Amino acid sequence: MSTVVDQLFTVRAAIGKASVEAGRDEDSVALVAVSKTFDADEIRPVLETGQRVFGENRVQEAQGKWPALRAEFPGIELHLIGPLQSNKSEDAVALFDVIETVDREKIAATLAAEMKKQNRFPKLYIQVNTGSEPQKAGIEPKEAVAFVKRCRDVHGLTIEGLMCIPPADENPGPHFALLRKIAGEANVEKLSMGMSSDYEIAIGFGATSVRVGSAIFGSR
């Protein structure tokens, strides 16, 4: 597993370099190590380096490995970065520290009720479908500012950030710029954008966290 650790350090160094080149502090960007589809034994070497922020796509898969890893490694921050079904909201609120994929009214209402019920308040991000791709989750860009306002005013939610996944076959730069513009209009501070193929570009556009999986763990 030394290869995984080497790749992790390479990614961390690249994040620091891109941050400095963008005129930002070297530690201004959080690395979310995307561990979806990898089991506990494959994740453990990364945890042993001190990495504590991880991303998972599916609630059920995360439930199968993270409670035990949390008992072994304190201080883990777990992000849900895949689409959330409303019937999984109870489990998501119980398990995740950050939910990055709030994208519709029903999810906002369900999360608000669950958080109040459990007295547990994960940080919330709105997912924006910057490419307006029909197969992809996320609120439409033109509706995003109003949706953030409704989440706050109607559902009483604190929205900390925005997240996007640009179309695979397009230059990601304009999508990152659009997300940053929406964040400014919605008075949102955090930007989760950039993955293994484009995280250095995202840092130049103001990403506060990047979601990197295959560049660390290898192909799935």
Name the token pair of 69. Answer: 């890893």
CA 107/CA 123 separation, integer angstroms: 14
Give the torsion sign (CA, 17, 19, 23, 27). negative
Instruction: Kindly report, residue by residue over 71-96, the tens digit of the pLDDT.
Output: 999 999 999 999 999 999 999 999 99
pLDDT, tens digit, 9 for 90 and up, residues 119-170: 999 999 999 999 999 999 999 999 999 999 999 999 999 999 999 999 999 9
pLDDT of residue 219: 83
Q: What pLDDT sits at residue 80?
A: 98
pLDDT (tens digit per residue) in 16-59: 999 999 999 989 999 999 999 999 999 999 999 999 999 999 99
| Whole-number pLDDT of residue 1 | 47
Report the DSSP pairing between strands 190-192 and 98-102.
unpaired
User: Around 86, how many Cα atoms within 13 Å sit in the side-chain half-sphere?
Assistant: 10
3-state secondary structure 114-142: HHHHHCCCCEEEEEECCCCCCCCCCECHH
Angle between the 59-72 and 40-48 helix axes, to the nearest 10 degrees? Answer: 50
* Residue 56 contacts residue 50 (beta carbons within 8 Å): no
pLDDT tens digits along 163-208: 999 999 999 999 999 999 999 999 999 999 999 999 999 999 999 9
Give bridge partners of residue 44 from the DSSP assignment.
Answer: none
pLDDT at residue 2, as a whole number: 56
Q: Give me the amino acid identity at 7.
A: Q
